[in-house]
Amino acid sequence: MATRDVKLLGTWSCPYVNRVQLALKLKSIEYKFIEDNPYNRSDILVKNNPVLKKIPVLIHGNKSVCESLVIVQYIDDAWPIGPSLLPSDAYDRALARFWATYTDDNWYPLIKMLRQAEGKEEKEAIIAKLTQGLIVLEDAFVICGKGKDYFGGENIGYIDIVLGSSLAWLRVTEIVVGVQLLDHTRTPGLAKWAERVISNDVFKDVLPETKKLLELHEKIQAFIKSST
């Protein structure tokens, strides 16, 4: 696939963009990355995502695909050659979609909320929810992974991409707040899974460095304080 045929609009620090990059890399699809500031929407972003005007956007030829979960599924369908990202079994595919949606709707937003929380009680309440969510995801790992290394079994799959794309910001949040959310005591399977994912060459190439994300977090916090 020629690079000019596939373009990705996004920014390096966005986990939703990172998961699309992971899917493309796992499928060995060449693409052109177009850095796009989500706070200063470009003409190309508005043109290709006129409804939501959000990143990421995948441009395949003259077609645009929006929303990261949809994009990853599209990549799996459009390029059947290479490793499958979603399971072949219909029920397993449904489970993968369910847990991906659970991650996006019920768990990942809490990470950002925790970084921005100020009061002790507020932080403790969010930490409790995050911890409970990780316990739920630990059970999901047992069910979906079926005793293998990844949610996708022996190979990285859809849930691994969706949840794995959050690990960089999860680590930053742990440092900022001074708490360990993912550990071997409460969620041993998930903790070992995270170690495997982080050490995987594909993830190492895509996920942002902790230092760079910490610097970005500090800039964001400084901007928020200066605006209030």
> pLDDT (tens digit, 9 = 90+) per residue, 3-31?
569 999 999 999 999 999 999 999 999 99
Q: Give residue 2's pLDDT band: very low, low, confident or very high (50, 70, 90).
A: very low
pLDDT of residue 3: 52
List, for residues 140-188, the tens digit of each pLDDT value.
999 999 999 999 999 999 999 999 999 999 999 999 999 999 999 999 9
Residue 124, pLDDT > 60, answer: yes
| Range list for CATH 3.40.30.10 in the chain | 3-78
Residue range 192-219: mean pLDDT, rounded: 96
Whole-structure pTM value: 0.95
Location of each CATH 1.20.1050.10 domain in the chain: 90-216
What CATH class is the domain 90-216?
A: mainly alpha
Tell whether the model's pLDDT for residue 134 goes beyond 70. yes
Which pLDDT score, from 0 to 100, does residue 1 have?
45
pLDDT per position as a tens digit, 81-108: 889 999 999 999 999 999 999 999 999 9
- Whether a cis peptide bond, with omega within 30° of 0, leads into 188 is no
- Residue 153 pairs in a beta bridge with 150
Kindly give the residue spans of alpha helices, DSSP state H, lying in the chain: 15-26, 43-48, 68-78, 90-102, 108-116, 120-145, 158-164, 167-177, 188-199, 201-206, 210-227
Neighbours of 88 (CB within 10 A): 7
What 3 state SS string does 124-177 have? HHHHHHHHHHHHHHHHHHHHHHCCCCECCECCCCHHHHHHHCCHHHHHHHHHHH
Q: Which residue has the higher pLDDT, 221 or 51?
A: 51
pLDDT of amino acid 44? 95
Average pLDDT score over residue span 39-58:
94
State the average pLDDT over residues 185-208.
Answer: 97
Please check whether the domain covering 3-78 is classified as CATH 1.10.510.10: no
